[in-house]
Structure formats: structure tokens, C-alpha cells
């Protein structure tokens, strides 16, 4: 199962499908093939592994898969049926499928005489697809808001310059996290002021997974803007309403979005209750002035403060990353 989880991590994050890995074992327990899901419209992990196995080798064997085999026919057929047709006699999976449209594979397999074992390394499997699962529950993409600031909460100097507040280790971490989301979101103000490329990079090289660039706001994006060189098409959402923006992002198939601001857009999402995780990169420097990380959040009294729960604190070179999530109300 740990190997299956490693395979699942190769799949794209932030899209309409979960990341899934599968290892096929022969009747004697020997590995015969492995596979993973490469994205919407491609074979599921079980089908990918079966296609790589020698003809008939899976009969009487075991399939070890990170997610309950689906029982749904969409652009690909049900994995439960594929495993039955291959003669697999035992299926071990980590996480039950939370999608009611696709669930039911375990029941079909048992009805077909297959031994089914559920829950092996379920916590690890759930963590792998946490944002995808949350998007199913929320009915919208999971939104991660990120900003980098000085210790006194400023995101830029008085003249608007902000490159670079944080160091190379923090910036590398941002790019890695960008690649884990289906979309990267900024406002038109950020595009006009900073002309960001909005790619996910390792140094000068593009990472294999790229979030789709989304620009929110009423102003036009210049034809010469750097983001037009992004490998994914730009989605311009002409609105200031964060709910409309999230709906537009959901329409692309993305199940997670990386919100990079600026402060006006981030604050609008926070005020609307549409942020599920906050990443704050803190640099050991002071800037002063009024270039704050957030604007008006609708908080008028201390009783109305928006409490966060710290999930992690990471040292990145000279900088700190604070990972926090909104405290759920009882």
C-alpha cells in the first residue's frame, strides 16, 4: 500500500479526479504490475495497472489500491468490473470513495465473490486527497490563501516594491505548493502592478504540474502580460464577487485554488468565508507603512475576530511559514 501511495502522488493534484495508485500482485503475492491515474479522461489506476500486467497474470491475484475501486461509468468504465473481469480474487483499499456518484465498487466486488479488505493506511490516503475530498463536501474548490510579509505585517514597501521580502527557500516552497492546486488566482491589480507569470517553477524550469491562471476583477488584462505565456489558458473572471469567482473556477474542473492576492482580493475571500487554509510566509524584517497583508475583513469588534488554528510552523531558511485554518464554529 505504501508503494501504491507513492504512485498516487505522481498524479495531478487539484483537478476533478482524486490521485490514486494501484499495485497488482499475482496469486503468490509477487508484484506483477503497477499504475496510477494521470488525470481526467485517462485510465484509472486499476485499469492502468491491469493494462501493464502480462495477459492473465492478475487472475487469482490481489489488487492493492489507495481508493475504493469506482463503480461508475464516465469517460472510463467501472474499475470494479475491470477487476472482476481480470479474475482478481482479493482487493485491498485504503480510503472509501467519498463521491456518491462513483462509490459502490466494494459492494459489487463482494457480490462477485472477491475478498475485500478496507482501511489499510486510510489516514495517509485521506491526507493525499484532502482538498479533493473537501471540495466534494463544500460544493466548491478548496481555497488556500497565501501571502508573504514582514514581521510587522507589511507585504510591500511604501513605493509598492515587494521583491523580495522572503528568501529563496520560502519562494521555492511557494512554487511547490502552487503545483499542488488546480488554479492560481490573483486580482487585476496584482497583474497590472507586478506582471506575474503565475507559473510553478523549480529554478528556471517549469514543474510538470501547472495551476491554471485566474484573474479576478473588472479591468482588462494587457495583451503583453507575462501570464499569457503560461502553459495553461488564462481565465479572466470579470467580477469583484468572490462567490462568482469561485463558481467560475469550479467550472474549469479545478477542485483547489491557490489565492495569491493582492490584499484586496485575499481580504474579499476571507470576509466571504471562502478561505480554507492560510499560508503566511514571515520574513525577519520590518517595513512599516500602510501596505498591509489584509484590508477590511468586516471585523468591527474584538468579538468578531476571525480565529485561526495553527496547523504547522516551518522554518525555511531565514523565514517562517505559518500554516493555519479557520476555526470551525460549533
**Ramachandran angles phi, psi of 95, nearest 5°:** -115, 135
Q: Tell me whether residue 85 is annotated as binding.
A: no
Q: Which of 46, 107, 124, 328 is catalytic?
A: 46
Q: Tell me whether residue 265 is annotated as binding.
A: yes
Q: Tell me whether residue 190 is annotated as binding.
A: yes
User: Strand, helix or coil at 3?
Assistant: helix
Q: Tell me whether residue 260 is annotated as binding.
A: yes
Q: Tell me whether residue 218 is annotated as binding.
A: no
Is 45 within 8 Å of 242 (Cβ atoms)? no
Is 1 within 8 Å of 121 (Cβ atoms)? yes
Q: Tell me whether residue 230 is annotated as binding.
A: no
To the query of whether residue 46 is one of the catalytic residues in this protein, the response is: yes
Q: Tell me whether residue 194 is annotated as binding.
A: yes
**First-to-final CA distance of the chain:** 36
Q: Tell me whether residue 268 is annotated as binding.
A: yes
Full DSSP string of 76-110 = S--HHHHHHHTT--EEEEEE----TTT--HHHHHH
- What does the buried/exposed string (b/e) look like for 107-125 if buried means 16 or more CB atoms within 10 Å of the residue's CB? ebbeeeebebeeebbeeeb
Q: Tell me whether residue 198 is annotated as binding.
A: yes
Task: Tell me the C-alpha distance between 249 and 311, whole Å.
Answer: 26
Enter the DSSP assignment of 304: G
Q: Tell me whether residue 70 is annotated as binding.
A: yes
Q: Tell me whether residue 262 is annotated as binding.
A: yes
- Binding positions for Zn(2+): 44, 70, 79
Annotated binding-site residues for NADP(+) read 148, 164, 190, 194, 262-268
Binding site residues, as ranges? 44, 70, 79, 148, 162, 164, 178, 190, 194, 198, 201, 260, 262-268
Annotated binding site for substrate: 162, 178, 198, 201, 260
Residues with active-site annotation: 46
Amino acid at each position: 500500500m505504501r508503494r501504491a501511495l507513492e504512485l498516487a502522488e505522481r498524479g495531478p493534484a487539484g483537478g476533478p479526479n482524486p490521485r490514486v495508485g494501484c499495485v497488482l500482485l499475482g496469486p503468490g503475492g509477487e508484484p506483477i504490475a503497477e499504475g496510477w491515474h494521470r488525470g481526467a479522461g485517462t485510465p484509472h489506476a486499476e485499469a492502468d495497472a491491469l493494462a501493464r500486467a502480462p495477459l492473465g497474470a492478475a487472475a487469482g491475484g490481489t489488487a492493492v489500491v489507495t481508493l475504493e475501486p469506482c463503480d461508475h461509468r464516465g469517460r472510463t468504465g467501472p474499475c470494479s468490473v475491470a477487476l472482476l473481469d481480470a479474475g482478481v480474487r482479493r482487493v485491498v483499499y485504503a480510503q472509501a470513495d467519498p463521491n456518491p456518484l462513483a462509490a459502490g465498487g466494494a459492494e459489487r466486488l463482494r457480490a462477485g465473490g472477491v475478498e475485500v479488505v478496507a482501511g489499510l493506511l486510510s489516514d495517509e490516503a485521506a491526507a493525499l486527497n484532502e482538498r479533493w475530498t473537501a471540495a466534494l463536501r463544500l460544493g466548491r474548490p478548496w481555497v488556500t490563501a497565501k501571502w508573504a510579509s514582514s514581521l510587522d505585517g507589511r507585504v510591500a514597501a511604501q513605493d509598492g516594491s515587494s521583491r523580495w521580502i522572503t528568501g529563496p527557500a520560502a519562494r521555492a516552497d511557494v512554487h511547490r505548493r502552487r503545483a499542488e492546486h488546480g488554479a492560481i488566482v490573483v486580482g487585476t491589480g496584482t497583474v497590472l502592478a507586478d506582471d506575474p507569470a503565475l507559473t510553478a517553477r523549480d529554478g528556471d524550469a517549469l514543474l510538470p504540474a501547472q495551476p491554471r491562471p485566474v484573474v479576478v476583477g473588472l479591468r482588462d488584462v494587457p495583451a503583453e502580460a507575462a501570464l499569457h505565456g503560461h502553459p495553461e489558458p488564462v481565465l479572466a473572471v470579470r467580477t469583484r464577487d468572490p462567490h462568482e469567482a469561485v463558481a467560475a473556477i469550479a467550472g474549469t474542473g479545478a477542485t483547489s485554488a491557490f489565492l495569491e492576492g493582492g490584499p484586496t482580493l485575499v481580504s474579499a475571500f476571507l470576509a466571504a468565508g471562502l478561505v480554507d487554509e492560510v499560508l503566511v510566509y514571515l520574513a525577519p524584517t520590518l517595513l512599516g507603512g500602510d501596505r498591509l497583508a489584509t484590508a477590511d475583513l468586516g471585523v468591527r469588534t474584538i468579538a468578531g475576530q476571525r480565529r485561526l488554528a495553527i496547523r504547522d510552523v516551518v522554518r525555511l531558511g531565514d523565514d517562517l511559514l505559518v500554516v493555519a485554518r479557520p476555526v470551525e464554529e460549533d
